Structure 1
Amino acid sequence: MTGQTATLPIRPLTPDDVDLVCHHRHAMFVEAGKDAESLARMTPAFRAWLAPRLADGSYFGFVAMDGERAVAGIGLMEVAWPPHPLHPDQDRRGYVLNVYVEPAYRQRGLAHTLMQWADEAFSARGLRYAVLHATDMGRPLYEKLGWSQTTEMAKAVEAVRGA
């Protein structure tokens, strides 16, 4: 896929985009108020996790370019999930992550455009249901695009002693 917003071309992520995706993810979490210590541990672990997935295509997505500069991006995955009332005949879901627009490029419709590209990519893969975790900043956009909150809850599970 190739395309363009009103002024910026969009291209698919490639395996060479590891640093870019890591930068966007780190910046996204900084802006969401996550602490520096957890981010210092997360970013190298994420890089190690991401590289093989970009290479094999199980992590895919798109980047908006201003000349040679990547100014916005979105990551996508197809995840195994048991059939559910919201997708009773499918054993997988789309997953959106790492939506990020550089501050100087915000309010130009880039995130909106990238989310539309995500819908098209999921549809092309036959995925009829997708999920994401929204930051406070992103929530209004996602709601405008038809996303709604679910009843999902989360909990950090402590490591078993001796493990």
Structure 2
Amino acid sequence: MELPAGYTIRPAATADAATVARQRGQMFVDMGDLTLPEAAAQQALWTDWLRGAIPSGGYVGCLVETGGEIVAGVGMMFQPKMPSAKDPALLKAYVMNMYVAPEHRRRGLAEALMRAVLAEAEARGLRSVSLHAAPLGRRIYERLGFVEASNPEMRLTLEPSQ
């Protein structure tokens, strides 16, 4: 998919960590999961994590720029998994941090970003890509072939010891 005129897509670099963290926060605010102050409080933590994960290759991001401004982005991190007969890869990909600034939505940026990170997963020989879909992006993910997982996730939150 081609980007509209004036938009370019590029890999995220370590220097972009704060921007990616800011977009992540705004993504959670837009979904109603965090307030703006709660998201702002997390940004330093996310920025520090990204500053290690981007250069190590544990996180790959793609950003869209126009007029010298980063207006959209997506990331993918890699998680170890046991190989199987159907999927011999040792890693699976998890897509995260999809964000497009409101004034740049409905121009194909999110789909272009998804195609870029999916190409990266394919280039690494990975066959498993997952994500948690926000309602706003669900149609794009379905169009790209994502389906509801058959195994519902269960989670236990452990409280820190005093």
Work out whether the TM-score is over 0.5.
yes
Task: Tell me how far apart the structure 1 counterparts of residues 131 and 156 of structure 2 sit (CA, whole Å).
Answer: 18
Moved over 6 A (4+): none
User: Which residue identity is paired with 2:43?
Assistant: T
Task: Describe the shift of the 1:122–1:137 C-alpha distance in structure 2 as closer, same or farther (beyond 3 A).
Answer: same
Question: Which deviations, in whole Å up to 9, do the C-alpha atoms of 1:60-119 show, x marking residues without a partner?
Answer: 12111102111111111222112357x532221111110110100000000001111111
Task: Tell me how far apart the structure 2 counterparts of residues 39 and 122 of structure 1 sit (CA, whole Å).
Answer: 28
| Residue ranges of structure 1 left out of the alignment (5+ in a row) | none
- Conserved 8 A contact 1:18-1:47: yes
Task: Describe the shift of the 1:149–1:84 C-alpha distance in structure 2 as closer, same or farther (beyond 3 A).
Answer: farther
Instruction: Report what 2:46 is aligned to.
Output: 46
Structure 1 residue 154, shift from structure 2 partner: 3.6
Task: Tell me how far apart the structure 1 counterparts of residues 4 and 160 of structure 2 sit (CA, whole Å).
Answer: 52
Instruction: Report what 1:61 is aligned to.
Output: 61
- Conserved 8 A contact 2:18-2:43: no
Structure 1 residue 39, shift from structure 2 partner: 3.0
- Conserved 8 A contact 1:4-1:10: no
Number of paired residues? Answer: 159
Task: Describe the shift of the 1:156–1:74 C-alpha distance in structure 2 as closer, same or farther (beyond 3 A).
Answer: same
After superposition, where does 1:51-90 map in structure 2 within 5 Å?
51-83=51-83, 87-90=86-89
After superposition, where does 1:115-154 map in structure 2 within 5 Å?
115-150=114-149, 151-154=151-154
Structure 1 residue 21, shift from structure 2 partner: 0.2
Task: Describe the shift of the 1:131–1:84 C-alpha distance in structure 2 as closer, same or farther (beyond 3 A).
Answer: farther
| Residue ranges of structure 2 left out of the alignment (5+ in a row) | none
- Conserved 8 A contact 2:93-2:126: yes
Instruction: Report what 2:107 is aligned to.
Output: 108
Instruction: Report what 1:24 is aligned to.
Output: 23
